[in-house]
A and B are shown apart, each in its own frame.
Chain A
């Protein structure tokens, strides 16, 4: 116990000394996120300093081994770091799909050579990754993907199209599911890594209902990928794909997209005001917010409990799907309530007053939460079959 609290004090002291004051403010919009990568332009000197200092400590990926750019912390120590960052209000120094998704998959399935090549560059924010999973004909039924990779002597030849590739136009590398055997469905998929600057790769942003383009269409036209960029075996990619998906689901379920850290009740009081009895002037909204508050607290407790069970090795892996389902639906509810609470003020689309329609755009963006990374319907299928053991295909 005393060792733990020494670590906590050390962390606190270091953060206080090294986290620039500007990096202790809540982010104002998605543009404030540090993604890293070859093409990333830091918004401020403070942002650059903060990332570099955390990289130095291995704290952008605290649980990864030191050899791969991490700090080799156990879960408990990592939790202390997270808590101390939260107390001080520190922003995340570096966010990336490399950290959240590819990293854990490489740690489990990558060769030593692949780990040494890719993990440190993720940890240091040098390479920004995107995920080549969905295709026009393979959404919920992901395993029906058709992007072909011909297995040639020293390379794969990739042809096909991906869609919903998040930030493909800003990414340096892609981790990509490709078909190496057309006679088997799940058993004919391989997991490849390649540079987005490879000849034959083109991207085209997709304009969403939020008026933003975080997703792209990505086209592959005779893209050559070296053999050594295959993770796992040829036709052995589905296992890796699923493992990575479970990390993605946890991330989406837990993340929300609330840059506003105020509680829903607080937001409503600030916007609507109270009557003489100290109650919100909109009684129906008041009840809805109380129900939401309750479900948000319950969801938080549930995540804590699942984490505690996982530490004891007692969590069913499919619970990630249950959390993804509930968390994304809850986040949609939160934003419906925000829109109902902010009323007319939330309707502006452009202009400095509304930070270019931050609320309206944020609200619309959440509608994708229950679609991306596995739809709510697919998540419920997983819960029914893998947790409840319901019969049928």
Chain B
């Protein structure tokens, strides 16, 4: 069932997330964390409130204290997070972590991690990227046999919330078997984490793995089964990020349109100028068709429909392009004000830059669309 219009229950969720975030974590919240050079870059109290609201528990099955909801609900939250730019481990933990462990984890892994995820008591993150660009098919991190254990060696970049993570899902090559995912505790010996101070004041880090010993029981899924699992997890991540880019684009667009209706030059509102009207009208079309495509992709992923891979890449590619145009136009149309730190539009531009790189940019996903299309 394709969801192209939210039903009443989903609208209710959308409204409540919006009210909650506007009240508890508007853009000012991000500024406060950034300006105070907060040690963790996010607010633990707010993260605990995510659990009270049920956001952390959405993708956790009911048997493990979760709500057993779907990617649609997670995308509704993500879209609103794009409007407020709220930093939180929602993407790393409540989406990627919860999805991967509940779909591939052993009973023991699920019991150990999922209840803590649902309660916002643990941060879980996927350590996949190694290059300057997202290239999940080229992984150099090695998992070599060492008696009954594995030894992990490698370096990961752009690992969301790494510095506050309790668990990492490390993507590594097992020679002779292929890609394998390992659930590793962040306190493991040989594992060091370096926080990155990022342009959007959100959180990520480098992870260095130097002979990190893990048991076979830390394999997520099965040895050599990582490629398929990773692709599925990244698809979930990609549509949820696409939803966030959509929310971001829509919000910054709304602010820009409002600005054009109040800023006067040459004795009239600048919104009267056709040169600007046509640009915002074009952007309106981009946003509306992105919205429809993202909704279609989200519900396809949720249902694991056959075309979900193509739709996911189309949605992420389209959302990247639309959000990028929206933030460029926002800064330009706000004129000098758009260049000031005091105005929020710059924050949207910074966040959009990061979300574009996360799980593959428009070019990456366009290539995947071509691959899947057989051309």
Contact = CB atoms under 8 A, between A and B. Distances in A.
A298 B280 contact: no
Given A274-B375, A286-B375, A297 B314 contact: yes
Give the secondary structure class of B's interface. helix
A269 B271 CA distance: 46
A274 B374 CA distance: 9
A322 interface: yes
Tier of interface size on chain B: 35 or more
A290 B367 contact: yes
B269 A391 contact: yes
- Among B274, B281, B371, the one with the most A-chain Cβ atoms within 10 Å of its Cβ is B281
B339 interface: no
Contacts of B373: 263, 265, 290, 293
Tier of interface size on chain A: 35 or more
Contacts of B268: 391-392
Interface stretch (B57-65, B90-98, B106-114, B287-295): B287-295
Contacts of A319: 288
A381 B274 contact: yes
Interface in B256-286: 257, 260-261, 268-269, 271-274, 277-278, 280-282, 284-285
Contact of A305 (B295, B318, B371): B295
A390 B318 contact: no
Please list the 8 inter-chain residue pairs (A to B) with the smallest Cβ-Cβ separation, ordered nearest first. A392-B272, A384-B277, A301-B292, A383-B281, A265-B375, A298-B293, A290-B366, A302-B289
Interface string B332-375: 00000000000000000000000000000001001101110111
Interface in A363-391: 377, 380-381, 383-385, 387-391
Interface of B: 2, 4-5, 257, 260-261, 268-269, 271-274, 277-278, 280-282, 284-285, 288-293, 295-296, 310-311, 313-314, 317-318, 363, 366-367, 369-371, 373-375
B375 A295 contact: no
23 contacts: A263-B373, A266-B375, A268-B375, A289-B370, A290-B373, A294-B293, A294-B314, A297-B296, A297-B310, A298-B290, A298-B318, A301-B292, A302-B292, A302-B293, A304-B4, A305-B4, A322-B281, A380-B277, A380-B282, A381-B274, A384-B281, A387-B281, A391-B261
Contacts of A298: 289-290, 292-293, 314, 318
Nearest to A287: B366
Given A298-B314, A304-B292, A390-B272, 7 more contacts: A278-B371, A287-B370, A293-B314, A297-B314, A385-B277, A387-B284, A388-B257
